[in-house]
Amino acid sequence: MKDDQALRLHERLSSSPLLRSVAFGEGRRFGLWDLASLTEGALGRCCAPESFTVSSVKRLRREPGPAGREHDDDHDFSRRYWIRSPRGGGRDIAGTVAVDT
């Protein structure tokens, strides 16, 4: 994808009322939510990211193998977003999505 196309895509995603870019300082929280999503999808276990302990995070990251590791791609074309729930006026977090263009 060309640079200008990628930037336009991220501008469109950022303008959605149901998405919010992950802000500076939210990376750890995003990673926990992402781990919860991976755990639910890969292992079929529901879990609340707010309840994770250091030891449970270590255990959960090992179980799904390399797919359970968070990758930090901090460049202009890789962005992380919170998915907002339409309930609660979009203030509640419903999930995560990462887009790498």
Q: What is the pLDDT of residues 4-46, one digit of tens each?
A: 887 888 788 888 888 888 889 998 899 898 888 888 887 788 8
Within 10 Å of residue 88's Cβ, how many Cβ atoms? 10
Q: What is the DSSP letter of 92?
A: S
* CA distances for 34 relative to 47, 64, 68, 70, angstroms: 11, 13, 9, 8
Share of the chain above pLDDT 90, in %: 7
Q: What is the pLDDT of residue 74?
A: 52
- pTM (whole model) above 0.85: no
Question: Which pLDDT score, from 0 to 100, does residue 38 have?
Answer: 84
Phi, psi of 79 (to 5 degrees): -135, 150
pLDDT in the model for residue 53: 92
* Per-residue pLDDT tens digits for 84-94: 888 766 678 88
What is the rounded average pLDDT of the residues 68-80? 58
